[in-house]
Amino acid sequence: QVQLVESGGGLVQAGGSLRLSCAASGRTFSSVSMGWFRQAPGKEREFVAAISSSGGSTDFGNSVKGRFTISRDNAKNTVYLQMNSLKPEDTAVYYCARGYYSLPYSRPDEYDYWGQGTQVTVSS
């Protein structure tokens, strides 16, 4: 059984930074991509970032390019989302997800397991 547990969310002022972590259980972590999505109240789930199984390839949503980075530590079964220059519009619940394949994809249907989410609130 695969479990994904996010942590690191919280309240931050605009312009600040947060780092989210997602710890994964299961033996296949190093062979699959990982992604981060977010959902704000009343809005659809939005792709944020994804990283390939090896960490050599990444992809980002247009709204976060240049501000967010994604990384992973396969020895620790953990994926990270470093969020800099945060804006109030980044406020959302952030979810990590495990991909079906090794390459980073931006569509939710390319992911099979999801965490419970962590709240990020950016005040103006």
The pLDDT value given to residue 42: 94
Q: Report pLDDT digits (tens) over 80-119.
A: 999 999 999 999 999 999 999 999 999 999 999 999 999 9
How high is the pLDDT of residue 27?
79
Q: Tell me the pLDDT tens digit for each residue of 25-59.
A: 987 899 999 999 999 999 999 999 999 999 999 99
Q: What pLDDT is stored for residue 41 in this prediction? A: 92
| pLDDT score, position 5 | 97
Per-residue pLDDT tens over the stretch 10-19: 999 999 999 9
Which residues are CB-contacts of 86 (< 8 A; sequence separation ≥ 6)? Answer: 12, 14, 15, 16, 17, 18, 67, 120, 122
CA distance 82 to 91: 15
Residue 46 CA to residue 38 CA, distance in Å, equals 5
Return the beta strands (E) in the chain as ranges. Answer: 4-7, 10-13, 18-24, 34-39, 46-51, 58-60, 68-73, 78-83, 92-99, 111-114, 118-123
Give the per-residue pLDDT at 26: 82
- Rounded to whole angstroms, the Cα distance separating 51 from 61 reads 12
Mean pLDDT rounded to a whole number for the chain: 96
